[in-house]
A and B are shown apart, each in its own frame.
Chain A
Amino acid sequence: MNKLPELIFNESKEGKIGYSFSETEFPDDIISLDDQYRRDGQNLEDFPQLSEVEIVRHYTNLSHLNHSVDSGFYPLGSCTMKYNPKINEAIAGWEEFSAHPYAPLKLVQGNLEIMNTLEKWLKDVTGMAGFTLTPAAGAHGEFTGIKIIRAHLAAKGNPRKIILIPDSAHGTNPASAHFSGYEVKEIPSNENGILDVASLEAHLNEDVAALMMTNPNTLGVFERNIVEISQALHKNGSLLYMDGANMNAFMGIVKPGDLGVDVLHLNLHKTFSTPHGGGGPGSGPVGVTEELLPHLPVPVISKQGDLYHAAYFNKGLGRVKNFYGNFLIMVRALVYLMSIGKENLRKVAEDAVLNANYIRKNLENDLDLPYKFKSLHEVVFSDKGLNVKTLDIAKRLLDFGIHPFTVYFPLIVHGAMMIEPTETESKETLDIFIRTMKTILKEAAEDPAKLQNAPYSTPVRRLDEVLAARQLALKWEKKQE
């Protein structure tokens, strides 16, 4: 394992520079900058001074400290850390796709066609009537979706006040609803980890704008009452928002549009294999029913005759992102969909569910399984009955080169360990993970301190998260001498 490099500020030495040009080839007056462009402000005096090779080594060594899907297993629950096929990258790298966002539409017909084609695929996968591809990530999609709901209800005369959210929803849902100007009310799920129609109906009144439901939810359980739930909502004049971040669990099997979902978002960086984490960038397309199409943000891409257009006349939300959204991510998602093929999307979901259940079955005698109801693409265990905490197991996993599962979420499970392997992992990798977990649990029984002091082999040992949260230090400051 690599060591953590010094901060670049500490590697600095007065007078070192990153380049050294020949004075005969480049006399001063050729390369000298006009004074007005020089950054001679006093803030620069602590700017690190290093040679070029030192800078290159510094950042190269830092980059080697990353754990990514390309370097190891990454079963981070609810994040769908599936492998990102290299064919996505190869095609997204074609120079034909790089166009200036202000280029005249007739010069970027191919790019518009890609967006239009991706939208068709997403409509086909979800059964929704139309999509906006512009939101930059999942939570941005949620925000856009709730804004669409608000615009729709406002156009009908009353935007209403409340968004209902089950306690098994994604943590970003309440934030998105709140930011869109709604009050959030939480509804408890039942003993099987899903929402009952009766407990929804107890919360329904004329102020309820929508229910925001993660399906399958954060316990990995399919919300089997969803049809009755959408009917109860619609009878009340409320809408159903589906957080589709977990679409990987039933892509090709169920279409949310058929279940009565009015608005949903997808995460291209989860289900559709585009890069996730490390700045992605992400992409969170939002799909809506026919009735809500007029409220989609602009631009709306459509084909008229032989030409593709980007329309800005929609009476919807205006823009939610500059230009067209993260275009090259859309290219990657389309490559993924086309290379897998419509007929195999179902297989993706089935294998994701199979892999999660393989882990569940193999660890259910070693770990507490708080919700025994059938689960899909992820499994949630708890630390009940162990003499160590979830965090200790997560930290120890690092020593085995495995990225920990999601910890302490969902909140309805005490000491939650939320594991999502995805379909791209082989049985051999899953077996290594299962064996590793059993080894760690055996260690916990024999010598809990071993886990409590883990990790041992990482560039930094156990960090003091409490101190870090209480005394945030986000920028370097020169030590006073």
Chain B
Amino acid sequence: MSANVKDLKFTKEHEWVKTEGEIAIIGISDYAQKELGDVVYVELPAVGDSIEKGDACANIESVKAVSDIYSPVTGEIVEVNEFLAGKPETINKDPYGAGWVFKIRMDDSGELNTLMNAAAYEEYLKGILEEK
């Protein structure tokens, strides 16, 4: 799978979401992986977990820090990217493709409306970079 960035939605916490019907695929943005630096470990949620929007349901450990991944939507985890367990660096190499983290069956796809589209996220990043 490789997502076209223009089709993705983003959160302020730098997760991205791609929707396929009622399934949302979630990963972290290119900006986020760069900020984290080399990823060394990914802790994944369990398939079948019920997740509320905003729950910290996975975490990514880099040489610098451990960061939570917050679910942008409510629903049930239907698949996790087991490949990351052995190859966590995939998140650095291909954040929008092979580096996806988990898939969730959404209870309410309306929740997606609160997220940013690619253009809005780019503006949001510009704001952050200016602050820095």
- Residues on A lying within 8 angstroms of B by beta carbon are 384, 408, 411, 414, 465-466, 469-470
Query: Complex formed: what's the CA distance from A470 to B62 in Å?
Result: 10
Choose among B38, B41, B61, B64 the residue with the greatest number of A CB atoms under 10 Å from its CB: B64
Residues of B within 8 A of A469 (CB): 40-41, 61, 63
Query: Complex formed: what's the CA distance from A46 to B64 in Å?
Result: 36
Chain A: which residue is nearest B41 at the CB level? A469
Contact B65 A411 (CB under 8 A): yes
| A370 nearest CB across to chain B (Å) | 9
| A274 nearest CB across to chain B (Å) | 29
Chain A: which residue is nearest B89 at the CB level? A470
Contact B88 A470 (CB under 8 A): yes
User: 18 pairs across A/B with beta carbons < 8 Å?
Assistant: A384-B132, A408-B64, A408-B65, A411-B65, A414-B132, A465-B38, A465-B63, A466-B38, A466-B40, A466-B63, A469-B40, A469-B41, A469-B61, A469-B63, A470-B40, A470-B41, A470-B88, A470-B89
Residues of B within 8 A of A408 (CB): 64-65
| A191 nearest CB across to chain B (Å) | 10
Residues of A within 8 A of B63 (CB): 465-466, 469
| Among all A-B residue pairs, the 4 with the closest Cβ atoms | A469-B40, A466-B38, A408-B64, A465-B63
Known: A414-B132, A466-B63. 15 other contacts (CB 8 A): A384-B132, A408-B64, A411-B65, A465-B38, A465-B63, A466-B38, A466-B40, A469-B40, A469-B41, A469-B61, A469-B63, A470-B40, A470-B41, A470-B88, A470-B89
Chain B: which residue is nearest A407 at the CB level? B64
| B70 nearest CB across to chain A (Å) | 11
Query: Complex formed: what's the CA distance from A408 to B66 in Å?
Result: 12
Residues of A within 8 A of B89 (CB): 470
Chain B: which residue is nearest A471 at the CB level? B40
Residues of B within 8 A of A470 (CB): 40-41, 88-89
Chain A: which residue is nearest B128 at the CB level? A414
| B14 nearest CB across to chain A (Å) | 14
Residues of A within 8 A of B88 (CB): 470
Query: Complex formed: what's the CA distance from A384 to B128 in Å?
Result: 13
Residues of A within 8 A of B132 (CB): 384, 414
Chain A: which residue is nearest B63 at the CB level? A465
| A56 nearest CB across to chain B (Å) | 36
| B8 nearest CB across to chain A (Å) | 24
Query: Complex formed: what's the CA distance from A470 to B38 in Å?
Result: 10
Give chain B interface residues in 83-132, CB to chain A under 8 Å: 88-89, 132
Choose among A408, A411, A470 the residue with the greatest number of B CB atoms under 10 Å from its CB: A470
| A173 nearest CB across to chain B (Å) | 14
Residues of A within 8 A of B38 (CB): 465-466
Give chain B interface residues in 39-63, CB to chain A under 8 Å: 40-41, 61, 63
Query: Complex formed: what's the CA distance from A469 to B88 in Å?
Result: 11
Chain A: which residue is nearest B88 at the CB level? A470
Query: Complex formed: what's the CA distance from A240 to B28 in Å?
Result: 35
Query: Complex formed: what's the CA distance from A374 to B36 in Å?
Result: 29
Query: Complex formed: what's the CA distance from A118 to B88 in Å?
Result: 49
Query: Complex formed: what's the CA distance from A221 to B64 in Å?
Result: 23
Query: Complex formed: what's the CA distance from A177 to B63 in Å?
Result: 24
Residues of A within 8 A of B65 (CB): 408, 411
Residues of B within 8 A of A465 (CB): 38, 63
Query: Complex formed: what's the CA distance from A465 to B65 in Å?
Result: 13
Residues of B within 8 A of A411 (CB): 65
| A415 nearest CB across to chain B (Å) | 9
Residues of A within 8 A of B40 (CB): 466, 469-470
| A320 nearest CB across to chain B (Å) | 26
Chain B: which residue is nearest A413 at the CB level? B132
Residues of B within 8 A of A414 (CB): 132
Residues of B within 8 A of A384 (CB): 132
Query: Complex formed: what's the CA distance from A414 to B61 in Å?
Result: 17
| A149 nearest CB across to chain B (Å) | 22
| B28 nearest CB across to chain A (Å) | 16
